[in-house]
Amino acid sequence: MHDRFRRLKGFAVRRLLVALGVLGVVLAVAGLNQDYFIGPLPDGLFRPPPATPSLADRRGRVLAVTATDFARDSRPIPLSAMGPWLPQMTIGIEDHRFFSHHGMDFQASIGAAWRNLRHGRVLSGASTITQQLIKICSPRATRTLVVKAREALAAHRLERLWSKSQILESYLNRLDYGNRRLGPEAASRAYFGKAVADLTLGEAIYMAGLPQSPTRLNPWRNPSGALARYQRNVRRLAAQGCLPPHADAERLAASPPRIQNNPPPAEAGHFAVIVEATRPESSRRHTLAGRPIPTTLDNDLQLAVERLARKHLAAVSGQGVGDVAVVVLENSTGAVRALVSEGPAHHAAINAALAQRSCGSTLKPFLYLAAIDQRLLTAASLLPDTPNAVTSAYRDYDPQNFSHRYHGPVRVREALGNSMNVPAVVTLARLGARETFAEMRTWGLNFPASFSDYGAGFILGNAPVRLFDLAAAYAGLARGGLAWKARLTPGDPVESRVPATAEACAIITDILCDNEARRLSFGLASPLHFAARTAVKTGTSSGFRDGWCVGFNGSHTVAVWAGNLDGRGMGEMLSVRSAAPLWAAVMKSLYASGDAAVPELKEGPTLRNLAVAQESGRLPRAGEKTVKEWFLAGTEPTTLAADTYRDGVLYLPDEYAEWCAGPHNHLGAKVRTKGLEILFPKEGTVFEFNPNLPAGQQSLPLQATATDCQWSVNGHRLETPFLPLQRGQWHLSASAGGREASANFTVE
């Protein structure tokens, strides 16, 4: 045993002598030409400490940290933000003469060599903090005496370039504290759940010892080993006089800090993914400097909306609703203040706010906005809500209201407020469907396909949209016609478009705030009703697969989608039950936080308010019921309602004939006779007989301005208003009430 010890000791002596000899040569050469011997300092030294990408909410609070291949969490911070204890305790443990040497501590090196000699093995290398920093920033290399000598000389050179504070800050931010946590801020959050500046003396000593062997001293896997190192360091610091005067070493050793296991922040996960996917490369470079990317999200509001979404899902999940999404935007800036997607665990990776879903009736406000802005309609204009109002424009399209009732003549305010389908399609035909589809895109509604794929049905919801984009479009309406994309970070550019005038937007907003205008479809006590002026629109897709509720007050826009991401329907659950209650809950929360209501409209040179006849929308006759309505200047009605009445009976144009004769005529109206006209087929129409279809499936539905016509073709009377197709020239005639009409058509 003694012989072996002597051999080890002799080996250590030889190593020490060789090391001292090499060091002497190195110093001699360095004195002659240090730059040649050392070469340039490591490039990594002059790059910012590596940082994991992180996002901060609008108040600077870290929302999420994204793991990278070099760390799970790394958040470089200034030395001034590291608090009083950790830097001091790190210096005491690693290099207690840090402030007195110039990069190389000869006293420590000789002491370390002597200890290694006594024990016959290498116990420590006595590298200073500056030398360790050079090593961390250098490419990996075999640990030879020459390499160590170069590191020592590089440390000496660095001390001439940087201050001690710069060196210490760079060193601490690059230290590995175990569990892939780099730097003291990430480690302090992980092990103690607090900022490093808030560490107690004991916590700082505990954490300062971890980089000495981050794997072996892992406090989560080897708590006893980490504790033993902590107690050893307490005694060492006390022996070196590095503890503050008030500290009791025995008490510190006997009362070790309590270790926690805190994962990095992962709030607003779906929002974080969007930001990471869309932020520019210039923003990504900021991450390397350790600065969190500022975002527009308000985490307090985000958490509140998440709670409301989960509560709503719990209430409606038994009725067929499995997923919900909510987007909250600030009107004035378009900033995303909350973005939530909640549903079952197997849908957790899907962001429902970005899913393309059938949009129901949520596009109708933009349809009527265009019609009013182009002065084609006013809010008081009458539109037909009748079974045959659409057929003249769209022969094969037969839209119906969800109530399966037809209300006859309705004012635009009623048509939009009650979300009637037939008046919307009639308006679309007058505006031009293709042109209106293109207009929707200017609001930022990016439909995945072209107009040809949807046809006129896009206005009733067969075109899918994203909740995220729909919220931005409504925020543009709230801004008075200034449309731009929702903003995720304060630096996002604003590329503003102006699809409509502020005055037309104000009229549509007033309709969306009008609870009385919704009465026929929603009643007066629905979740859509607020005492404060609040604009809102719902939408339900076919098959009850999607429920929507979108609206705004004077401060924020709130958009809600409810449904099932796997495409299942929700029974027969309308949006007023599937989505509106959650929308109302979020809106109430915003009002409780100080949101303003939608401002009242004011008359001016471009906006007028006057009383019109309730049933006709014209200037009222004496004693007639009236309603107040808003108009763009120059579009106010100029004719009296008196010419629509005769002996107290309301007379309507021929297009209302079928409705007047049906069971929904609540007005007791009659048709104003102008003569009989064949609506289909029109004079001169040419049809093509398809030989590949059974003859029984090819017939023409005959229509005229009267519903009780007697039809004849080529002089032969028809029993039903349907004509089987046969090749040839045909003369069609109709008669009703002593009136006659005819049309010629061809079948080829």
- The pLDDT of residue 402 is above 80: no
pLDDT band at 108 (very low <50, low <70, confident <90, very high): low
Nearest to residue 655, comparing CAs of 364, 377, 393? Answer: 393
- The pLDDT of residue 741 is above 50: yes
| Domain count across the chain | 4
- The pLDDT of residue 680 is above 50: yes
Angle of the 85-94 helix axis to the 129-137 helix axis, nearest 10? 90
116 shares a domain with 8: yes
Which residue type, as a one-letter code, is found at position 58? R
438 within domain boundaries: yes
321 shares a domain with 217: no
Give percent above pLDDT 90 in the chain: 63
698 shares a domain with 650: no
658 shares a domain with 585: no
pLDDT band at 109 (very low <50, low <70, confident <90, very high): low
Nearest to residue 384, comparing CAs of 703, 656, 664? Answer: 656
How many C-beta atoms lie closer than 10 Å to residue 624's C-beta?
18
Residue 104 sits in a domain whose CATH number is 1.10.3810.10
What does the pLDDT look like over 138-159, one tens digit per residue?
A: 987 666 777 788 888 899 899 9
- Whole-number pLDDT of residue 1: 42
More confident residue, 623 or 494: 494
660 shares a domain with 624: yes
Among 169-178, 351-360, 646-655, where is mean pLDDT lowest? Answer: 646-655
265 within domain boundaries: no
What does the pLDDT look like over 492-535, one tens digit per residue?
A: 988 999 999 999 999 999 999 999 999 999 999 999 999 999 99
236 shares a domain with 179: yes
Q: Rounded to an integer, what distance in angstroms lies between the CA atom of residue 738 and that of residue 718? A: 18
What does the pLDDT look like over 570-588, one tens digit per residue?
A: 988 899 999 999 999 999 9
298 within domain boundaries: no
DSSP per-residue codes, 407-419: -EEEEHHHHHHTT
* Domain housing 226: 2-48+71-254
- Cα–Cα distances in angstroms (integers) from residue 162 to residues 89, 157, 283, 370, 535, in the given order: 21, 9, 28, 65, 60
284 within domain boundaries: no
625 shares a domain with 543: no
DSSP per-residue codes, 490-525: TT-----B--S-HHHHHHHHHHHH-TGGGHHHH-SS
DSSP per-residue codes, 651-717: EE-GGGHHHHHSTT-TT--EE------EEESPTT-EE---TTS-GGG-EEE-EESSSS-EEEETTEE
pTM exceeds 0.95, yes or no? no
**Domain finish residue from 561, 592, 623:** 592
What does the pLDDT look like over 5-64, one tens digit per residue?
A: 344 445 444 554 445 444 544 444 444 444 444 568 999 999 999 899 899 999 999 999
713 shares a domain with 641: no
What does the pLDDT look like over 414-469, one tens digit per residue?
A: 999 999 999 999 999 999 999 999 999 999 999 999 999 999 999 999 999 999 99
418 within domain boundaries: yes
197 shares a domain with 119: yes
**Domain finish residue from 641, 671, 701:** 671
Query: Burial of 358 by CB count in 10 Å (0-12 exposed, 13-18 middle, 19+ buried)?
Result: buried
**Domain finish residue from 619, 649, 671:** 671
Q: Write down the mean pLDDT value for the chain.
A: 87
- Cα–Cα distances in angstroms (integers) from residue 18 to residues 14, 24, 104, 112, in the given order: 6, 10, 18, 15
Residue 522 sits in a domain whose CATH number is 3.40.710.10
611 shares a domain with 522: no
723 shares a domain with 643: no
E strand residue ranges, 500-636: 535-540, 546-552, 556-563, 607-613, 626-632
Alpha-carbon dihedral sign for residues 607, 609, 615, 621? negative
539 shares a domain with 434: yes
